[in-house]
Structure 1
Amino acid sequence: MRSIMLAATALLAITATAAAGEEKPLAYEKPQIPEDHESLIASDDPQLAANKRLVYDMYRIVLQAGLADRAHEYIAVDYVQHNPNAAQGLDGLIDYVRSTRPERPIKDKLELPLIHLMAEGDYVTTAFVRPEKDAEGRTYYATWFDLYRIEDGKIAEHWDPMLKSDPKIDPNDRQI
């Protein structure tokens, strides 16, 4: 019984400390972002490395630089889009890019805070840190995931957590 009372007392103390604002949730701490993107792209499997490079360069050139006219270099004509706010096919992606971001110079590296780039089989997943604001205006850090399916050397399909109720965004505005 004594151990249960001690555990309950400790739990109450932890809860009271958190409620008093003394303990900041991890989401409010700026995360560590890898600087070496080439190591994220690298793989012992040449096909996985090629798939990661395809996604990385598409993101860098089409989505970051806003060069919609180059999308055909990376995206299949019959591209399947699971983001409910973008139309299907290569033309749908081109229209989405043109409607959400200006053209910018191409950078050698992604400027969005890339945490990880994973490849398995024909799939590549990106994970980015996204700074957001809470109700009090404080910055916290969420994570955005995109999943791409590669077919015949092009991106054939895409998933992300975007909801129909979400406004179209330029993720390049979400840098740390």
Structure 2
Amino acid sequence: MNLEVNKKNAIAFYQMAYEGKPREAVEKYVGDDYIQHNPDVANGTQGFIDYFERMQSEYPNKTIKFVRCIAEDNLVALHTHQIWPGNDQYVTMDFFRFDVEGKICEHWDSIQQIPEKSANPNSMY
């Protein structure tokens, strides 16, 4: 496993899908099987494509910034800052598992809206 290549590919995959090219992202970065753990997205590559095509259609002006990328063994974790229409801001943490051929084969995520007020002075990043 090449951790730096996996990190680069996880970011490229997610950015490409997020910016409206999920089919191309799947063709380039995903293996034969794709296991999805987000309950809002159907399992498999077509579920992923359908979800991101719908998000692009409904929210074309959303943005994403990759804050951190961490790799270990066959896993890559992305920590992102997303801004959606109406200035709704979210912290996301996505985990991708890579198969032996270096293709993404599994995904987990956690999403939290950034609140307007915090009990502490620290950012969520």
Whether the TM-score (by the shorter chain) exceeds 0.5 is yes
Runs of 4+ in 1 over 6 A off after TM superposition: none
Relative to structure 1, is the Cα distance of residues 141 and 62 closer, same or farther in structure 2, using a 3 angstrom cutoff? closer
Q: Identify which of 46, 63, 67 aligns with 1:115.
A: 67
Task: Indicate if the aligned counterparts of 1:147 and 1:159 stay in contact, CA closer than 8 A.
Answer: yes
- State the number of aligned residues: 105
Relative to structure 1, is the Cα distance of residues 101 and 50 closer, same or farther in structure 2, using a 3 angstrom cutoff? same
CA distance in 1, matches of 2:23, 2:81: 27
Task: Indicate if the aligned counterparts of 1:78 and 1:88 stay in contact, CA closer than 8 A.
Answer: no
TM-score normalised by length of structure 2: 0.71
2:11 counterpart of 1:56: yes
2:92 counterpart of 1:150: no
Task: Indicate if the aligned counterparts of 1:82 and 1:159 stay in contact, CA closer than 8 A.
Answer: yes
**Greater percentage in strand:** 2
TM-score normalised by length of structure 1: 0.52
Q: Percent identity?
A: 29
Task: Indicate if the aligned counterparts of 2:80 and 2:91 stay in contact, CA closer than 8 A.
Answer: yes
Q: 1:140: how far off?
A: 9.3
Equivalences for 1:12-23 in 2 at 5 Å? none
2:22 counterpart of 1:68: yes
- CA-based RMSD of the aligned residues comes to 2.8
User: Which of 1 and 2 has greater Rg?
Assistant: 1
Task: Indicate if the aligned counterparts of 1:76 and 1:89 stay in contact, CA closer than 8 A.
Answer: no
- Unaligned regions of 5+ residues in structure 2, if any? 113-125
Partner of 1:96: 51
Deviation per residue, 1:12-34 (Å, 9 max, x gap)? xxxxxxxxxxxxxxxxxxxxxxx
2:32 counterpart of 1:77: yes
Relative to structure 1, is the Cα distance of residues 114 and 76 closer, same or farther in structure 2, using a 3 angstrom cutoff? same
Matched position secondary structure for 2:8:
helix
1:73 aligned partner, one-letter code: K
CA distance in 2, matches of 1:69, 1:130: 21
